[in-house]
Each structure stands twice: as structure tokens, then as C-alpha cells.
Structure 1
Amino acid sequence: MRIAITGGAGFIGGNLAHALASRSEISHIRVVDDLSTGSRANLEGAAVEFFEGSVLDPGLLDRVFRGVDSVVHLAALPSVPRSVRDPLASHHANATGTLQVLEAARRAGGPQVIAASSSSVYGLNPHLPKHEELRAAPRSPYAVGKLASEAYLTAYHHCYGLPVLPFRFFNVYGPRQPAGHAYAAVVPTWIGALLTGQPLVVHGDGNQSRDFTYVETVCQVLGAAAVGRVVHPDPVNLAFGTRTSLRALIAELESATGLRAEVRYTAARVGDVRNSQADNTRLRALFPDVAPVPLPEGLRLTVDWFRSAPDAVRAGVGRVDGSPDQVIPSPVSRMRRKPDTGHR
């Protein structure tokens, strides 16, 4: 079996490449990434064929997708705050990038396309836990672009028979997640702050909640979806129904690091969602054998990785302003000015 990963040199993409490389069913892995925020270091030790470039390049995608059985589309421009600052860049990377991937898959003869969407599409809808049939109420350009991506996947399934599987990622965390940039997610940012004696900045009162999912669990699901050729044209939540407040997350991080946190509270940010928790009924029906890594264990493993990678900790110095919004897989284009160019 041959698999292509877009955004494969980023956080989730790098972890997925390593996970897939260990599976006997998979004979070849191709990775495409423009390295605007991803890193070749995330692929060290993984047997992959690497292509540097953007998912907005149709010719490159044609080369990468030729002969593959499955495409895992993770490339995106992440972060709600980033999209508020530059909505056009967010749209081009996330919506247009997904459309280019779907067109390339169609030209390649119709490999399965597994794609990363986001829980941010639920937006202002207050219902908890959030199930896939809820009305979407996106409140940021990032969320709008992800919702458009989902709709394109569904449309390509019904119009062209393309086998698709859109996942709504919630808050993914774990090793290889970058801390040292302005749009870093909350877990790596706060771990970096704790390990370097900096304060943890909380936007709002800290009672906002998220459904955190360890990256190894996400990779288990993505691997099972690819190897099992699982197809579902409608979105599937990829989270396990947990709900952790930011205050509780701080307590868990203190336990995982053995360190006491200094916490500073500031105003809530435009575009942030108050609470998030997944209904995982659909996920469990499709992947009944996946066992999620509990949050305390996942945080301990993540802290251990940061302690073993001092460069990752140093990269986070001065970047203590963590966002609870997830960072999904990797960079897509150098068409935009830095630092607003990519992800994963």
C-alpha cells in the first residue's frame, strides 16, 4: 500500500509518518511539505520519499499522488488568531489547498482522501458534547475555511465518487508540536514556559474547556482509516469526549513537570470558542478498537519529549502567550509573507 501525506513534515504529519512507516501493510510513504513551519527533523528515521513544495502547486501534487492508494491531507495554515489577522491567506491555504488536493486525487484516478478539519467549525453552537449533525456556527475565517473544506470533500464524494473521510480534529497535542512561534498551541507553549520558569498567560478566566487528544491516538485512527480504506462522506469527530478546563490543564502540567506555575490572566481573544467537547459516537462506530491515551499519561510523555529536546524548549522562550486552539499538521505555501506562511 502506498500513502501520501500532505503537511507531513509538521507536528501531526511527522508523527503519522513514523507511525505508518512501522506498519507492514504500507510499502511506500510520500510526504509533501513546503517547510514554512514544518521541519525535516520531524521525519528523521522515517522511511519516506520527501517532496518540498506547496499543495497549491498542481504539478507537484500530480507527481506525489501518482500511484498512491490513500492521501492523508494535513497541510493547512492553522490558528484562529492568525486567520483573524490574515483571512485571505487562511482561505487560500485551507479551502483552496483542499480543493487542489481533491482535484489532484481525481486526476490520479481516485485514491482515498482522508482530510483534517477542525472542531472550530462548531463555533458559537453552545450544545455539548458536539455531535456532527449540529448546526455549524463558525466565528473565525479559519473555521469558515475548514467548513468549506469539509463541504468540498462531501461534494467530491457525491459528484465524482471519490472515497473521502473528513475528520474534525479537536485539540491535538504531543511530541514534535512546536512551541516557538506566535500561534503555538497551548500545551507546548505552557510546557515550554514551565520548563524555562516563565509565566503561563491565560486569555479569559481559565474556565474555558477543550477536548485534548494525544497525537499517538490521532495517528492510530488515521492509520486504521488508511489501511482499512474507511470511507465516510460526512465529518467525523476525532476526539474522545473529554472536557478539560484550562485551569485543570495547568494543574495537570504542574503534576507532569513537578513544577509550580505562575499564571497571568488577560482578556479573552476575538474568535476563541468558550467550550469544546466531542461526541465520539460516530468515531467509535467506525474505529471500535482504538484506545485513547489518557490526558495525564499523554502530558507526561509530551513533557518527557520536551525535556529530551532542549532546542524545542529554547524555541519557546519568549512565547508564553498560548492559544487553546489546536495546531494541525503543516505548512502549505511560501506565497505569503512570513511568519504567516504555513503549518504542520
Structure 2
Amino acid sequence: MPTALVTGVAGFIGSNLANALLDRDYEVRGVDNFETGREQNLQSLRSSDDFRFHEADIRDADQMATVTDGVDYVFHQAAVPSVPRSVEDPVTTTDANCTGTATILNAARNADVDTAVVASSSSVYGSTEQLPKVESMHSQPESPYALSKYYTEKLAIQFSDLYDIDTAALRYFNIFGPRQDPNGEYAAVIPKFISLMLEGERPVIYGDGEQSRDFTFIDNAVQANILAAEGDVTGEAFNVGCGGRVTINNLVDNLNDLLGTEINPIYDDPRPGDVRHSHADISKAKEQLGYEPAVDFSEGLDRTIQYYRNN
């Protein structure tokens, strides 16, 4: 039975990934400091005898050495995940995302971990006009968060060159789905909009709403992580998206259709650091990992709405 460590396990992506690994008969260790993770995301995990949780900070080298001992795969999902928050507080984002990544990768190297898969972001591309975004493009991170993710993936790839550990970096394109936090100033757009519109309230769009995103349902991100860990590719970065794009205005239209509402959004000034368009070329992940998006945007949006209606 393989053993996996998931950092940020109380978060949206980490908890969904941990559940999927348990379903594949992994033993799973989870780490979170609850800076952005939530206890309720651990409820289903705690019911499994094959899950062990460690409340710890990924910047704590001693604790990371302990939790990586005997681990086959590390899935590094922990981060301060918000572009606007990073613009307001670049020090915390840089410390958590950069120092944390270096600490967990070094612990994995010392523990002879087979493979480490790290979460990067489509934000590393910046606002380049070329679409879709392909991994060979020049990176232009435009926020402290994007810069921290650029560092995360570059360090992971460097580790595969310097040490006896396989690595992969996954550039997430606007992952959404159940367990994503809909509350707070820095909440992601889909859960925030669903939460507001279920209450009959108007969502706020920053800018003209014609900015577009390659919204990617959580099951696709989970699939990519497992393929990257269990495959033979190392030292590479991969786009994880669906290969399409939806404007924020169209997102509101879709939500109105699915909710049976006619709610008009409020428009406000654009936010600094936000990119204009996000659209993934996923051919590299298809060819080298065998990745194929299993859930499209419409189905994913419907599943997500049902989750928030029931929770």
C-alpha cells in the first residue's frame, strides 16, 4: 500500500485529493495549519483508518522531516492562495509559499520520497495576449502570488535535476468545485457567486466582465495529480485545465440559468494583479501524463451548485 503526504489537506484541493487517494487504497498523511484550511473539510477523511492528520506549518523543518519519513509520494498543495491578498500582504504570501515549498521539498529529498507533485498556477503566465497558454511560453508573473508559484515550480524542477527525486509542477487553471470556501474577501469567484446568488444577492464583477477563465472542475485537478505522481515523467510543468474559456459575464448567465434566477451583477473597478484571460493548452498533459478532463464546465458548475445548496 503506497503512502502519500498531502500538504494543505484541510483546503479545497488538498481534501478532495486526499479522499481520492484513500479511494485508491493509499495510506494518507495530511498536514495543515488552518491558515486557510477548514476543519469541516477533514470530516470524511477522519473516518478512515488509513488517514493520519498532523496540524503543522510546512515551514517547520523538524515537523516536515517527521511527516515525510516513510512516504512514497508528496502532493504539495499548501499555500496562501489569493492574488489580491498577495498584493496587500506580499511578505506572508512569499514566506508561506516560497519558504514552505523549499522546506517540504528538502524534507522529501532527505526522506527518499519517490515523487513530489507541487501546485503551481496559470497566473505565472501573466497577461500575455497569446492564447491558449502553452508551457513553453515565457512566464510573466504579475503579482506576489504568481511570483511565488513561479518559484514553487522552478524549485521543484530544479530538485529533480540536483537530487534523486522525481518532481512535477501542475499549473492550475481556476479550479472550482465542492468544499471551496465561498466566504471572505478573497474567496474564489465561483463559490462566492453561487453563495450570493443562492441568497438572492448580486455578485460583484471587477472590471467589465469580459475577462475570461478556463474554469476547471476539481475532479480534473485530482486526476492530474495522481497521473503526475504515478507516471514516469519528471522535472516538468503541466497545464491543468479544460482547454476552453468562459467570461465572467457568461458565468453569471450560466448561474442564472441553473438557479432559475435573473440577478444582475454589480460592476466595480478591476483589481491589481488579476490577469485578463486564462485559457490552457493541455496537449502536453494529455501526451505525457495521459490527462483527459473528465468533467466539463457545465457539469462541474451544476455539481458545485448542488453541493452549496446541500451545505
TM-score (norm 2): 0.95
Aligned to 1:231: 233
Which structure has the higher relative contact order (CA within 8 Å, separation 6+)? 1
Aligned to 2:256: 254
SS of the residue corresponding to residue 299 of structure 1 reads helix
1:11 and 1:262 mapped to 2: Cα distance?
Answer: 28
**Do the aligned partners of residues 208 and 11 (structure 1) sit closer, same or farther apart at CA in structure 2, a change above 3 Å counting?**
same
Runs of 4+ in structure 1 off by over 6 angstroms are: none
Please report the RMSD computed on the Cα atoms of aligned residues, expressed in angstroms: 1.2
What one-letter code is carried by the residue in structure 2 that aligns with 1:21? L
SS of the residue corresponding to residue 206 of structure 1 reads coil
Question: Residues 1-344 of structure 1: matches in 2 within 5 Å?
Answer: 1-24=2-25, 26=26, 28-46=27-45, 47=48, 48-226=51-229, 228-288=230-290, 290-309=292-311
**Do the aligned partners of residues 30 and 270 (structure 1) sit closer, same or farther apart at CA in structure 2, a change above 3 Å counting?**
same
1:121 and 1:101 mapped to 2: Cα distance?
Answer: 21
Contact 2:74 2:113 in 1 (8 A): no
1:53 and 1:205 mapped to 2: Cα distance?
Answer: 41
2:293 and 2:133 mapped to 1: Cα distance?
Answer: 20
The structural deviation recorded for 1:198 is 1.0
What one-letter code is carried by the residue in structure 1 that aligns with 2:258? A
1:298 and 1:87 mapped to 2: Cα distance?
Answer: 32
Contact 2:244 2:280 in 1 (8 A): yes
What one-letter code is carried by the residue in structure 2 that aligns with 1:262? N
**Do the aligned partners of residues 12 and 100 (structure 1) sit closer, same or farther apart at CA in structure 2, a change above 3 Å counting?**
same
2:284 and 2:196 mapped to 1: Cα distance?
Answer: 37
The structural deviation recorded for 1:39 is 1.8
**Do the aligned partners of residues 231 and 288 (structure 1) sit closer, same or farther apart at CA in structure 2, a change above 3 Å counting?**
closer
Contact 1:112 1:229 in 2 (8 A): no
SS of the residue corresponding to residue 51 of structure 1 reads strand
Deviations 1:100-147 (A, max 9, x none): 111101111133100000000000322100000101111111111111
Give the paired residue count. 306
What one-letter code is carried by the residue in structure 2 that aligns with 1:80? V
1:289 and 1:182 mapped to 2: Cα distance?
Answer: 33
**More off after superposition, 107-116 vs 164-173:** 107-116
2:293 and 2:110 mapped to 1: Cα distance?
Answer: 36
1:289 and 1:236 mapped to 2: Cα distance?
Answer: 10
1:126 and 1:99 mapped to 2: Cα distance?
Answer: 32
What are the ranges of 5 or more consecutive residues in structure 1 without an aligned counterpart? 310-344
2:40 and 2:241 mapped to 1: Cα distance?
Answer: 27
Contact 2:227 2:291 in 1 (8 A): no
**Do the aligned partners of residues 102 and 297 (structure 1) sit closer, same or farther apart at CA in structure 2, a change above 3 Å counting?**
same
Contact 1:203 1:269 in 2 (8 A): yes
1:257 and 1:66 mapped to 2: Cα distance?
Answer: 47
What are the ranges of 5 or more consecutive residues in structure 2 without an aligned counterpart? none
Contact 1:125 1:135 in 2 (8 A): no
Contact 2:22 2:28 in 1 (8 A): yes
1:256 and 1:14 mapped to 2: Cα distance?
Answer: 26
SS of the residue corresponding to residue 251 of structure 1 reads helix
2:268 and 2:291 mapped to 1: Cα distance?
Answer: 41
TM-score (norm 1): 0.87
Sequence identity percentage? 39
Contact 1:198 1:262 in 2 (8 A): no
Contact 1:153 1:233 in 2 (8 A): yes
Contact 1:239 1:278 in 2 (8 A): yes
Deviations 1:8-50 (A, max 9, x none): 11101111111111113x2x10000001221222122222100
Deviations 1:163-220 (A, max 9, x none): 0010000100000000111100000000001011111111110000000000011112
2:277 and 2:117 mapped to 1: Cα distance?
Answer: 26
1:289 and 1:102 mapped to 2: Cα distance?
Answer: 24
SS of the residue corresponding to residue 235 of structure 1 reads strand
SS of the residue corresponding to residue 71 of structure 1 reads strand
